[in-house]
Amino acid sequence: MTILGISAYYHDAAAALVRDGVIVAAAQEERFSRVKHDARFPRNAIAYCLKEARAEGHGLDAVVFYEKPILKFTRILQSFCGTAPRGLRQFMMAVPLWMRQKLWIPYLIDRELASCGVAMPEALYFTEHHQAHAASAFFPSPFERAAILTLDGVGEWATATIAHGRGNHIDLLREIRYPHSLGLLYSAFTFFCGFKVNSGEYKLMGLAPYGEPRYADLIRKELIDLRTDGSFHLNLDYFGFLDGLTMTNRKFERLFGGPARAPESEITRREMDLARSIQTVTEDIILAMARHAHALTGERYLCMAGGVALNCVANGRVLRDGPFADVWIQPAAGDAGGALGAALFAWHQIASGSRSADNVHDAMQGAYLGPGFSDDEIGAFLSSHGYPARTLPAVDWARDIARIVAEGKVVGILDGRMEFGPRALGNRSIVGDARSTTMQSVMNLKIKFRESFRPFAPSCLVERTSDFFELDRPSPYMLLVAPVKAARRTAVQDAGGISLRDRVHQARSDVPAITHLDYSARIQTVDAAVNPRYHALIKAFEDQTGYGIVVNTSFNVRGEPIVCSPADAYRCFMRTEMDCLVLGSFLLDKNEQPEWKDKADWRREYVLD
C-alpha cells in the first residue's frame, strides 16, 4: 500500500511517501523552490517523492493531508466573532486566501498529481494537525508503547496534546486549545526580541544563556496561569495575535520596558534576559506536561513532536529531570513532519497496518530521506560548467577530507541523500575543526553571514559521546543539549562588563568552537551503521588529531534553505569563504575555481530570518 502525505499552507510545506509502513521518501518544498520555510503547495516535493518511489500511473493507494481545513477555518471564524470588531483587518486578509485556495485541497491535490502523471486515488483522508504530529512522533519511534507529547503554535484548535501510543494505535488523552499556546507565547518573545516568528525561535534559544531569568517571575505573574499538570491560560490582554497583526501589543511593551527591538539592531541586556526568562518558563511548562503525561499513561518512554519539540535545551531538561527512561523526538518535528505523520497515521490507524519496534532503532533511516545524486550526475554537472575537481578514491575519501579540516579549513559537503527536517546531519553540512578558537566567528561572519552569538553544533562519533559530553545515550538528530564534560572545560573571565562579542570569543573548553556560553552543546552523535561515510570522516579526523568530533552546521547561508542539489551547493560555496567543497567523490578547491559573478547582490535574494 503506497500512501502520500502532504503538509502545506502554514510554513514548511512538505511531502512524504510511505509504502507498507516503510518511509520511502520525504522532503520539504523549500529545498526545491529555494524559498525558506516555503508554505506553498509542495508540488516539487510531491514530484520527488513519486519519482523516488516509482509511483507512476495508478501507483498511489491513498493521499493524506495533515490537517482538516474546514475545522481550521471554523476556528478562524469563531475567533473573529469572539473579538469583533477588533481584528477585522486580520480577518479580511485571511478569508480571501481561504476561499481561493485553502478550502480547495482535494482539487489542488488532484491537479498536481495529474501534472506528475499520477492518477488521484479514491482514498483521500484528512488527519487533525496534532494527530499528524503524534503519529510522526510515535510510529517511527523505537518504542512499542509510549506517552506522546505534541506542542506547537496551533493546529485546528489544539495547541498541545498528550496521547498514548500502543502498537499501531494512538489515543488522544488531553489537549490545550487556542488561543492558549506555548508555541505562540514563545513566538511572542521571538518577535519582541527582534527575530522573525516561525523562523527565529532557535535564535532566542541560542541567546538565552547570555542572559539572566530576571523576567521569569513577571512572566508567570502577568502572562500565564500555569497549573501543576502543565496546562495553562495566557493573559490575552498582553498579546496581539488574536485580534491584530503583531504578536504583542502596547501593554506588553509597557510590561517589559519599551517597544520591541528593531530587527538587525544591537542586542541589549534586555533581550538577553528576556530570552533567558522565557526559555526558563518554557522548560518548566514542558517538564510539567511531561510529568503529567507520565502520570496519565504510566509509560517508561516519551515521544515528542510539534515545533516546540525543536527546543533542544528543553528536551535535554525533560530527559535529565523528567520521569521517563528515554525520550524520542521526531527530527522533522515542525509542520514538515506533519506530512510524514499523516501518511503513517493512514497506514497504521486507518488501514490497521502492522508495526514493529525494538526499543533500539527507529524507522527514520537517519532522516536521510531526500534526493541523492550519483557520481555520474555530479561529474556531468561539473564537466558541463567547466568546474575543476579531483576525484577521491573511496579508500582516500575520509582521510583526505579529514586532513583538510585538521588544517583549519572549512569544507562544504554534499554526499548521499538529503536530510528531512531542519537539521543538517552530515550529508548537507559545512564542517570545521571543533578545536579552533576562531572557528565559530569565522563560520558565522564569513560563511553563514549571521549573528556572531549563534552557537555551532558538534558531530561526534557515537562511541566517543561520553568522552566529550555528560550524555549517556545517542543523540542522532541534534535534538538534545547536554553539558560538556567538566574535565574539558576552561575557566573564563567573569561576564561583568564584557561585551556580547567578547563573550562569544572566550574559549570555554578544548573544543571551543562547539561549547556554548553555559558549557553546553547541541549534540549529533554519528553511528557507522546509519551514516558510514560521515562516521568514517570523523574517525579519520580522530586518527589524525585524537579528537573524534567536528563542527557541523547546515550547508546554507542566512535566509537560504539548506542546499539540495550540486548546483545549490556550488553556488553557496562560491558565494562564501568556504575553502573546499565535497560533492560525492569529488573535491573542489576554492582557489582553483573560475571567477564567480552574481548577476545581482545575492544577499538580497533571501529574506533574513
Sheet holding 123-126, edge to edge: 22-28, 14-19, 2-7, 62-65, 123-126
Of the candidates 127, 148, 131, 232, the residue with the CA atom closest to the CA atom of residue 183: 232
Report the alpha-carbon distance of residue 566 to residue 227 in Å, rounded: 51
Task: Extract the C-alpha cell encoding 523.
Answer: 549534540
DSSP 602: G
First to last CA, the chain: 40
| β partners of residue 65 | 6, 126
H or E stretch at 525: strand 520-526
How would DSSP label each residue in 121-179? PSEEEE--HHHHHHHHHHTTSS-SEEEEEEE-S-SSSEEEEEEEEETTEEEEEEEEETT
CA dihedral (442, 445, 446, 449) positive or negative: positive
Cβ proximity of 10 and 16 under 8 Å: no
Q: Please name the residue that has the C-alpha cell 503547495.
A: 41
Task: Extract the C-alpha cell encoding 404.
Answer: 583538510
What are the CA-CA distances from residue 218 to residues 170, 183, 239, 281 (Å)? 38, 19, 15, 10
Q: Is 292 among the catalytic positions? A: no
Report the alpha-carbon distance of residue 191 to residue 203 in Å, rounded: 11
Work out the angle at residue 410's Cα, subtended by the Cα atoms of residues 408 and 411, and round it to the nearest 5 degrees.
130
In the set 11, 164, 294, 348, the catalytic residue is 11
Task: Extract the C-alpha cell encoding 531.
Answer: 551514516
Q: Cis link prior to 179 (omega < 30° from 0)?
A: yes
Cβ proximity of 268 and 251 under 8 Å: no
Q: Please name the residue that has the C-alpha cell 548577476.
A: 599
Query: DSSP H helical segments within 268-334, as ranges?
Result: 269-297, 312-321
Cβ proximity of 201 and 190 under 8 Å: yes
Report the alpha-carbon distance of residue 211 to residue 517 in Å, rounded: 10
Report the alpha-carbon distance of residue 360 to residue 272 in Å, rounded: 39
Cβ proximity of 63 and 4 under 8 Å: yes
Work out the angle at residue 231's Cα, subtended by the Cα atoms of residues 275 and 71, and round it to the nearest 5 degrees.
100
List, by residue number, the catalytic residues. Answer: 11
